[in-house]
């Protein structure tokens, strides 16, 4: 089974590339983030023509998540247990489904903007709701993984220059502690292994030639339980998909499993 995650930064803007990538990479399951469309406006027809079922969750703004699957979609859950609102709105940032016996969640963790900002406090509360959901999902007799844009770089090595992040989100102690809670719950980061590049970043800003300079961050992650992790045979960042005109600022992360 091939399972992938990709922040497409607008499914409408990225649709030709999404369809082309689905046809070439052939994931069995793809978790998407930052749809920037409503659930109804998701391009169901174009995607289902390629053999995928779709579970989408969006309000049409800058967030939205989906799971595309050729391996079935069962027990779909939209939103985390106890997910907090931001400015009186519960944002569509998480969706879970079971695909051929594998439980997956596609998550788009809030950015946080800057330490001390209300959005940063919201990010930490949102991560607490993720912890609650993970505890509910863990320990069951099926592989389980949380995939998506976590907006957290796990270590200093996961950003191109840690000295530039002294007063920034994504690298703070509290954010990284939230990842440690996931590890304490039995999940492991399954992708930090020898990959095709020395710095397997997943995100590069559009500005200041960040991608050609490889000034990136590894913030798109796959956290999985032992059943899932032990089945992983390969994992890679599809850096080629970040190249060229009309690319998302994130690259897909792909995990192959033998179950």
Q: What is the pLDDT of residues 213-237, one digit of tens each?
A: 999 999 999 999 999 999 999 999 9
pLDDT score for 254: 96
Tell me which long-range contacts 81-88 makes (C-beta under 8 A, separation of at least 24).
Answer: 81/129, 81/132, 81/133, 81/136, 82/128, 82/129, 82/132, 83/126, 83/129, 84/122, 84/125, 84/126, 84/129, 86/110, 86/118, 86/119, 86/122
Question: Which domains does the chain show, CATH number per domain?
Answer: 2-257 (3.60.10.10)
pTM above 0.85, yes or no: yes
Calpha distance 254→222 (Å, rounded): 9
75 pLDDT above the threshold of 90: yes
Percent of the chain exceeding pLDDT 90 equals 93
Please state, as a whole number, how many other Cβ atoms lie within 10 Å of the Cβ of residue 163: 7
pLDDT score for 81: 98
């Amino acid at each position: 089974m091939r399972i992938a995650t990709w922040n497409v930064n607008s499914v409408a803007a990225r649709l030709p590339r999404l369809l082309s990538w689905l046809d070439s990479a052939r994931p069995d399951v793809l978790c998407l983030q930052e749809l920037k469309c409503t659930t109804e406006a998701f391009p169901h027809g174009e995607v289902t023509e390629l053999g995928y079922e779709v579970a989408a969750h969006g309000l049409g703004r800058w967030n939205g998540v989906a799971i595309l699957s050729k391996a079935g979609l069962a027990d779909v859950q939209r939103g985390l247990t106890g997910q907090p609102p931001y400015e009186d709105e519960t944002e569509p940032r998480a969706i879970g489904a079971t695909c051929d016996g594998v439980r997956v969640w596609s998550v788009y963790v809030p950015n946080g903007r800057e330490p001390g900002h209300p959005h940063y406090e919201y990010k930490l509360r949102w991560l607490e709701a993720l912890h609650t959901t993970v505890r509910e999902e863990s320990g069951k007799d099926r592989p389980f993984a949380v995939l998506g844009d976590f907006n957290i770089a796990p270590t200093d090595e996961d950003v191109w220059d840690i000295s530039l992040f002294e007063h920034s989100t994504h690298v703070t102690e509290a954010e990284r502690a939230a990842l440690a809670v996931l590890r304490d719950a039995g999940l492991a980061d399954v992708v930090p292994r020898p990959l095709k590049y020395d710095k397997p970043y997943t995100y590069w800003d559009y500005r200041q030639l960040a991608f050609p300079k490889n000034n990136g961050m590894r913030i798109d992650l796959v956290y999985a339980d032992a059943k899932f992790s032990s089945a992983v045979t390969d994992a890679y960042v599809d850096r080629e998909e970040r190249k060229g005109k009309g690319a998302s600022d994130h690259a897909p992360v792909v995990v192959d499993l033998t179950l």
